[in-house]
Amino acid sequence: MLLEGKTVLITGGSSGIGAAAAVEAARQGADVAINYIGADAGAHDVVARIEALGRRGVALKGDVAEPDTATAFVGRAADALGRVDVFVSNAGICPFHAFLDMPAATFERTMAVNLHGAFYMVQAAANRMVAQGGGGAIVAVSSISALVGGEYQTHYTPTKAGVHSLMQSAAIALGRYGIRCNSVLPGTILTEINRDDLADTGKRERMAARVPLGRLGEPEDLAGPIVFLASDMARYVTGAALLVDGGAYVNLQ
């Protein structure tokens, strides 16, 4: 098991990629704490799946856009589970909208959740790891959207580029403490975040058609890469970004 005896904290763990990563971390031997903002039923289901694997699970509600949520989540999770070995910054939103009439509130909320939230959470987790000693691993869920654009994502893609950049700089700042920082860059993964957008069958088929592996992703497709980067198997990997997109990015023609 890749994470035996470790404790893993994941933001946005109540659904989609975060939920899949939480359950896989438990399957790989970790106790897991998840943060979420509203989906009590989803969070409780993930905790039940963690406990069914014989591990401890904790769900803590809070808005990652609020700086205090970060210290509260890391502190309460560490109190419950003992320490913080792995931190996965995953919570995010993508309210699709055209550029020219993008409401300021939509732009600012997307920045606050996706980028500011990641910063506060990673900072709080890193401070805990430094204080407890022994190093650690941080994995941030960025996106293929850190590298390419989207017409209805002009507020969103900069946040994903920012998260990718945050991991690069944090890798330098935290290397001396033995804390590794990496990002995963998912392609299009079928989750709640894009359920409405991909209800457009034409768009969904066009998106799938550009994937060399022939399908859009499932949340479980991210679980292995996240666990790998979190594990000691990746002990000399830091500041790296791992595309998990079925080959979509390289498919120019």
Ligand X SMILES: C[C@H](O)[C@@H]1OC(=O)[C@H](O)[C@@H]1O
Ligand Y SMILES: NC(=O)C1=CN([C@@H]2O[C@H](COP(=O)(O)OP(=O)(O)OC[C@H]3O[C@@H](n4cnc5c(N)ncnc54)[C@H](OP(=O)(O)O)[C@@H]3O)[C@@H](O)[C@H]2O)C=CC1
For residue 61, the surrounding DSSP H or E stretch is strand 57-61
Cβ atoms of 24 and 46 within 8 Å: the answer is: no
Cβ atoms of 139 and 182 within 8 Å: the answer is: yes
Quote the least distance from Cβ 199 to ligand X, whole Å.
12
Q: Which positions from 78 through 107 interact with ligand X, judged by CB under 6 A? A: 94
Coil, strand or helix at 136: strand
15 part of the active site: no
Residue 158 interacts with ligand Y (CB under 6 A): yes or no = no
For residue 163, the surrounding DSSP H or E stretch is helix 157-174
Residue 114 interacts with ligand X (CB under 6 A): yes or no = no
Distance CA 253, CA 20 (A): 32
Interface with ligand X (CB under 6 A), residue from 135, 150, 224, 239 = 150
Quote the least distance from Cβ 42 to ligand Y, whole Å.
5
Residue 57 interacts with ligand Y (CB under 6 A): yes or no = no
Residue 29 interacts with ligand X (CB under 6 A): yes or no = no
CA angle 140-99-65, nearest 5°?
Answer: 35
- Pick from ligand X, ligand Y, none: which does 150 bind, CB < 5 to 8 A by kind? ligand X
Cβ atoms of 190 and 231 within 8 Å: the answer is: no
> What positions carry a catalytic annotation?
143, 156, 160
Q: Which residues of the shown chain bind ligand Y in the complex (CB under 6 A)?
A: 11-18, 35-39, 42, 63-65, 90-94, 113, 141, 143, 186, 188-189, 191-194
Q: Which residues of the shown chain bind ligand X in the complex (CB under 6 A)?
A: 94, 143-145, 150, 160, 188, 193-194, 197
